[in-house]
Chain A
């Protein structure tokens, strides 16, 4: 009974350390600096080949 508890608590400790290091790394890398931008940015289709400017650029590339 107690031995499995020791094992599980040890595992918990390991996970806690991993999570902690992960979050610290993310904070250090500025992942939390702009909390709204990424959510909005993903909606913008800046790789949409149907955009007039993009299509021109692609056409030029194909001609070469």
Chain B
């Protein structure tokens, strides 16, 4: 049944009476909107229908490519912009690394690869499934970068260039080095274990002394590369920790390694006692393996975080006496006159000199409706020009913009954040001293009673005490939880986030873009004459064909392209509306440019009117609607016993309306960034551990001040940079999941610590009195580590 009622492409519910469909594999499949229809059609037309058979997750809702967006893509062809991310790999051949947004499963990777390979001029495409990055090589004579980017957009994904030269190279080198170390430790461990079995068996049944010595020397030869090469990272970490006199977990690890090796070598040379080569190899293999897993999880987080930092085309159109010219934003100076076209972002703060337009300042103020700008009004860098072209004179650039000011506020908020010390390392310091003291004591005691056994007992104590389990306990749990969350679209960007998340008792939401979609959707149609709603919509969409206004998109999404009527003499009145002639009569659609009077607006929604020359035909209400999983999230969080609030910059009535729908009592509207900050501080002063969810620049300072913060993946760069967690998937319900998982992670970490400490408390005294045979010591050490890792892997 759900099949029939949901969009075949994106899985969202179908709008009643909207008739969109695409013929896929000889079957007519329903589509929810024009965007999905366009994307699905593009996929089928390019012979990529296999995608629908292979996919395991639904893509984002399709969006039509707006002409304005294509214009912006064209900026990437500018040689000055390309300098930073395009490499020349041969004559006419260029290579760039692209970050792909919207990848949800392996079929998406395949789709992009196949489609790009079909384009003439594209020489090679490799998409990395884990990092969502594509390395594309193309022939500059046959195709342009903007064309490649546009093709990706047509499939419903977004691509933007990534500056690969920076960090990625050194990270790759480091990873290869780590892999080589793991390989050496693995091969050596396998061989030495085999020899160890022979030695233990020989110890039991009896073995010639010469054979024993041969096997020992062979084990020694295999262990040397492990100790010299594979274990090197531990020496380096322990040494730097000792230099600053703050011993970490690596210090006892190195002591145990070196002591076991020295003892084994001594016993090999003298041909007596026990050897611990197998324990050494196991030890190094386990530690390196976990380190690599942990590093892998962290690297994927870093890559995902880097993918968010877009390389925006920082170009502006400067108007001089000689005409217009495209210049890099860095070259602007106050007093320059700029032309900002509809759909463009203001590159600098300025004063409007000419033109009338509506401006979207939602990123800065959280206000979801357009703000009208006339000559003399101030505009802020980062806001978006919507309606008509504006000419402005620059008043502030770079550091002097309002945007930069908010970023500075954010820096201060971040600096005040409480720093959580790592528990394991704190224990490690004390553990090291306790271990050394104990070993010395054991050695002295045995020296007193039985000098012959002193050396072996000291060695047993050092090997059997397992710093391994203690040092693996926290990282293994964090790595397991982190990579599990990332697979579900939740990216942890700060180390402390999981730990703090587990203690959260108050969740604060921003409204626009967080609980809601952050863009207007058609909420209601009220026919005012004898026409029915469907007819009104059809006429409205037809008129809006000519408009690039963002308010036009929700109309066009309702009506199939073949149902649109031809419009002649279309006139676009910037900031007011559109008019045109259909079937010989003139119709108007818009907010103000009407021949007849419309009554006053109500709060919380944008109203658009359809009229002919004598009367009003319909009223459309466009509103920013709630995300479909907002209500389930709120219910889930309430079930977890958390207190909830909404702090929004939007007007109080709208916020209250949303709060009532969701069942949240504490709803505060009309707050400026500073007010939000104060409100969160007040909650914290009352003892609350606050988690903040937001998306806009205006949320950034609050996100920084809350103990733990979460930004929407589609939000602004500043918001994402200042948050501890980024919701890449935009599926709100994952927040509830993350909260539950964080508590489980903390529980697992505590279990691991408890186990490691309990093991040491039992094993060390036994070793000290000489009751632990060498094979038991080695087994105990390995088992205690394995248990810790297995426990962490339960976090699923």
Contact = CB atoms under 8 A, between A and B. Distances in A.
Given A36-B129, A40-B129, A41-B106, A27 B183 contact: yes
Interface string A22-64: 0110011000111111001101111010011110110000000
B44 A52 contact: yes
Given A28-B176, A54-B47, A36 B130 contact: yes
Contacts of B128: 33-34, 37
B218 to A, nearest CB: 6
A44 B180 contact: no
B191 A12 contact: yes
Given A41-B110, A51-B50, A27 B187 contact: no
A41 B188 CA distance: 33
A45 B214 contact: no
A4 to B, nearest CB: 11
Interface in B127-162: 127-130
B129 A37 contact: yes
A19 B191 CA distance: 12
B187 A35 contact: no
A34 B130 CA distance: 6
Contacts of A46: 50, 110, 114
A20 B225 CA distance: 12
Nearest to A45: B50
B407 interface: no
A56 B45 CA distance: 11
B47 A23 contact: no
Contact of A34 (B44, B47, B129, B218): B129
A43 B50 contact: no
Contacts of A28: 176
A57 B48 CA distance: 13
B191 A52 contact: no
Contacts of A33: 128, 172
B211 A2 contact: yes
Contacts of A56: 47
B165 interface: no
A35 to B, nearest CB: 7
Given A40-B106, A46-B114, A27 B179 contact: yes
Contacts of A9: 214, 218
A51 B47 contact: yes
Contacts of B172: 33
B424 interface: no
Contacts of B50: 44-46, 48, 51
A2 B176 CA distance: 40
Contacts of A54: 47
B370 interface: no
A44 B106 contact: yes
A28 B179 CA distance: 10
Interface residues on A, range: 20 to 34
A32 B179 contact: yes
A9 B172 CA distance: 36
Contact of A53 (B47, B109, B130, B183): B47
A19 B222 CA distance: 14
A28 B210 CA distance: 41
B295 to A, nearest CB: 13
Q: Is chain A's interface secondary structure helix, strand, loop, or mixed overall? A: helix
A52 B110 CA distance: 17
A41 B128 CA distance: 11
A40 B180 CA distance: 25
Contacts of B208: 1
Nearest to A20: B187
A1 B222 CA distance: 22
Interface in B1-33: 25
Contact of A44 (B25, B54, B218): B54
Contacts of A37: 106, 109, 127-130
Nearest to B127: A37
Nearest to A54: B47
Contacts of A12: 191
B107 interface: yes
A53 B218 contact: no
A52 B180 contact: no
A6 B214 CA distance: 9
Contacts of B109: 37, 40-41
B46 interface: yes
B186 to A, nearest CB: 8
A35 B49 CA distance: 26
A44 B48 CA distance: 11
Nearest to B111: A44
Nearest to A19: B187
A35 B130 contact: yes
B664 interface: no
Contacts of B179: 27, 32
Contact of B222 (A16, A23, A51): A16
Contacts of B546: none
A16 B191 contact: yes
Contacts of B129: 34, 36-37, 40-41
Contacts of A45: 50, 54
Contacts of A32: 179
Nearest to B117: A46
B176 A51 contact: no
A63 B179 CA distance: 52
A64 to B, nearest CB: 19
A28 B211 CA distance: 38
A12 B221 CA distance: 12
Given A2-B210, A16-B222, A37-B127, A43 B54 contact: yes
Contact of B214 (A5, A36, A53): A5
B658 interface: no
Interface string B107-128: 1011000100000000000011
B184 interface: yes
Nearest to A48: B50
Contacts of B214: 2, 5-6, 9
Contacts of B54: 43-45
Contacts of A51: 47, 49-50
A40 to B, nearest CB: 3
Interface string B34-65: 00000000001011111000100000000000
Given A23-B183, A27-B176, A5 B46 contact: no
Nearest to A35: B130
Contacts of B218: 9
A50 to B, nearest CB: 9
A56 B109 CA distance: 23
A44 B110 contact: yes
A19 to B, nearest CB: 6
Interface of B: 25, 44, 46-50, 54, 106-107, 109-110, 114, 127-130, 172, 176, 179-180, 183-184, 187-188, 191, 208, 210-211, 214, 218, 222
11 contacts: A5-B211, A20-B184, A23-B187, A28-B176, A40-B109, A41-B106, A44-B110, A45-B50, A51-B49, A53-B47, A53-B49
Chain A to chain B: the 6 pairs with minimum beta-carbon distance, closest first: A53-B47, A40-B106, A37-B129, A23-B183, A44-B110, A36-B129
Given A24-B180, A37-B130, A43-B54, 13 more contacts: A2-B210, A2-B211, A9-B214, A23-B187, A24-B183, A34-B128, A35-B130, A37-B127, A40-B129, A44-B110, A45-B50, A46-B50, A51-B49
